[in-house]
Structure 1
Amino acid sequence: MKISGRRARWSLLGLACGTTALIGLAPMVSALGTPATGPATRAAGAGAAEDGGDLPALTLFNKVSLGDGFVQTLYATDDTNHPKVLAVKVDAAAMKTLPTTPTNDGQTCFDKDNNGIDLETDCASGHERDLWFPKLPGLPFQWMMFDWQRNGHGPSHVFDKPHFDFHFFMQDFTERNKIRTGPCNLVINCDDEKTAMKPVPEQFMPPGWGMPGAAGRMGNHIIDPNAAPANGGPFTQAFAYGTWDGHVTYWEPVVNKDWITTEKPAKACQPITQAPEVETTGYYPTQMCTRYSTAGDVTFTLENFTSRTAPDNA
């Protein structure tokens, strides 16, 4: 699909893969009636019990459309109102109608050939939804960049299968939007790629982590090259740290959609490899989990939060 000015047309490749209704190729509208792109969409819902049997009752905070269903952010706190669980739920209706054509929804693109944006070749981030989290005491994460990647992305044989990206951003939403798209790496401005690739001080990253590269409107991604799927092991769920200008800016679980729908894990958890130090004092998760309910909903969580204190030189 190409976009040129205000006119758009479907490419033959896009039509061959099927069709999905898009509204102006813009972010979908939240269930609260406002675009899910800023604080105006923040509205904590009433306590919403989650059907994951071992989870505490989760409170709905933000909800946006995806396919014929919704993506939601939810949370639970301890007795002192500190974070206990952060969750992202993709309901059964959305799981059954995930957008397939075009591959990308046009939010992270760059016209490489100056002939109109091709949604199959000039874009990244798949189908993106931006959601918010409450301002809990000590919670470093402000908002969520959710991506449904129909065809996956590079590196080859690592993340090139259909999957979900969950960017739990600590970086301010406005500052994230200043990371420009361009012709380098994964649709990123070449000067901004250099900023994204600045090394993070050793104490703030797990030892030995590296790969796979920078992307527009995101920053760099760093993973464990000795863990699956980077080491050739099966791609089920993995974890990445995001960086920008020498700082960790987001935490990112990456989860294989086919694994979810085939294995239907009632509960699949793995520890999150921690850096020796954090730059900001707060409560940080030590475990990530994926749960598939009997109703077909999928809930992704960050759990087992622990208090960490930043060093004086952070």
Structure 2
Amino acid sequence: MKTMQASARPAAQAWLAVVVMAASPLLASAGDLSATYRGKPVPFGQGQAHTEVRTDAAGKAVAVSIVFSEQALAGLPGATMAPAYLLRMPAKGPRTVVDHVVINWEAVGHPPPKVYDVPHFDFHFYLVKRAETMKVHFNSDAESADPSQQPPTELLPAGYILPPGTAVPKMGVHAINPQAAEFQQPPFTATLIYGYHNKKQTFIEPMVSLAFLQSKPVFSAPVARPARYSKSGSYPAGYRVSYRPDSQSYEVALTELQ
């Protein structure tokens, strides 16, 4: 028995060395808290859509996304309907300033003419509760120019204005950048809008044309940031619209949260 134990010891030691070497990369990355948290998928077109929150190695949220399958662009309703798809945030993972997301499909676009009057999606990342947005009411779309809706200057990014004609019930008023590319040289592809109600920020809205999505883009751009925000937290310094060939899906993301 002693002889057998002695001969077995080197083999056991070698086996242990292999296990330790194999485990060391896992141990080295044990402190890496980077992850992707996914919200519950909902039907969208002939496909599905869900939210995602991505974290860095320290576990901090760095991006909030809407991800939808390629099939979502098929079977969308026509101009007689303007559906809104409600997406909840992931149940797990870090909280962000985004409370929920609503995708609005605009089959024939909306004003102003010759700018946003093409089929496109409005991706609303709401900073307030759903119940609050459902109470938003206007008597006219021109109310966006009313002094009661004009936010303090420090809540508007440089160059953005809040013109008449952008007040929408159950949403808010929409601030645009008249120097954005679509106002200089159409066609409109992708842009970013800020939303307000009663003088406070209530949503951040990338708008993306159907034609641009169908081109399967890999697009990113900086986000103009205001001097301050109505709600404390981390806000995007960039946004991204991209096609994921590996999963045949699209992503519209608010990135570089800081």
- How many residues in Structure 1 have an aligned counterpart in Structure 2? 221
* Cα offset, 1:103, TM superposition: 3.3
Aligned twin of 1:91: 69
Aligned twin of 1:109: none
Q: Which runs of 4+ in 1 moved over 4 A?
A: 135-138, 193-197
Correspondence list, 1:44-123, <5 A: 58-100=36-78, 103-104=80-81
Correspondence list, 1:149-188, <5 A: 149-180=106-137, 184-185=140-141
Aligned twin of 1:133: 89
Q: Which has the larger share of helix?
A: 2
Amino acid at match of 1:68: Q
Q: 3-state DSSP class of the match of 1:283?
A: coil
Counterparts in 2 of 1:87 and 1:138: CA distance versus 1, 3 Å = closer
CA contact (8 A) 1:227 1:233 kept: no
Correspondence list, 1:159-308, <5 A: 159-180=116-137, 184-185=140-141, 198-210=149-161, 211=163, 213-261=166-214, 263-265=215-217, 267-294=218-245, 296-306=248-258
Q: 3-state DSSP class of the match of 2:178?
A: coil
Mark the structure with the bigger radius of gyration. 2
CA contact (8 A) 2:51 2:90 kept: no
CA contact (8 A) 1:144 1:167 kept: yes
CA contact (8 A) 2:103 2:124 kept: yes
* Cα offset, 1:138, TM superposition: 6.1
CA contact (8 A) 1:196 1:220 kept: no
Whole-Å separation in 2 of the counterparts to 1:177 and 1:74: 24
* Cα offset, 1:264, TM superposition: 1.7
Q: 3-state DSSP class of the match of 2:132?
A: helix
Consecutive unaligned residues in structure 2, runs of 5 or more: 1-33
Aligned twin of 1:121: none
Whole-Å separation in 2 of the counterparts to 1:230 and 1:164: 18
Identity %: 26
* Cα offset, 1:252, TM superposition: 0.3
Q: 3-state DSSP class of the match of 1:260?
A: helix
Whole-Å separation in 2 of the counterparts to 1:268 and 1:142: 25
Whole-Å separation in 2 of the counterparts to 1:245 and 1:77: 32
Whole-Å separation in 1 of the counterparts to 2:115 and 2:58: 40
Using structure 1 for the length normalisation, give the TM-score: 0.64
Using structure 2 for the length normalisation, give the TM-score: 0.77
